[in-house]
Amino acid sequence: MNGVAGLDERRILTDCSPAALAAAVEENAVAYWRTCVPLLPGGEFHESDEMTWFASDFTSAPWFNQVMLTNAGADDADAAVDERLAFFRERNRPMLWSVTPSSQPSDLGARLQSRGLQLVPSVLTGMALELAELPDPAPPAGLRIERVTDAAGLETWLRCYINGFGMAAAAARPFLGLYRSFGFDDDSLFRHYVGSLKGEPVASATLFLGAGVASIWHVGTAPAARRQGIGAAMTLASLRDARTMGYRSGVLHASAAGLSVYRKLGFREHGRTAQYRWSPQS
CATH number at residue 87: 3.40.630
Domain annotation covers residue 8: no
Look up the CATH number of the domain holding residue 231. Answer: 3.40.630.30
118 and 90 within one domain: yes
> What are the residues whose beta carbons fall under 8 Å from the beta carbon of 244, sequence distance 6 or more?
none
Give the domain extent around 82: 18-124+274-278
pLDDT digit string (tens) for 224-255?
999 999 999 999 999 999 999 999 999 999 99
How sure is the predictor about 176, in pLDDT bands with cuts at 50, 70 and 90?
very high
Confidence of residue 133 (pLDDT cuts 50, 70, 90): very high
**pLDDT top residue among 6 and 129:** 129
pLDDT tens digits for range 20-56: 999 999 999 999 999 999 999 999 999 999 999 999 9
Average pLDDT over residues 193-208: 97
Tally of structural domains, the chain = 2
- Is 9 a domain residue? no
pTM here?
Answer: 0.93
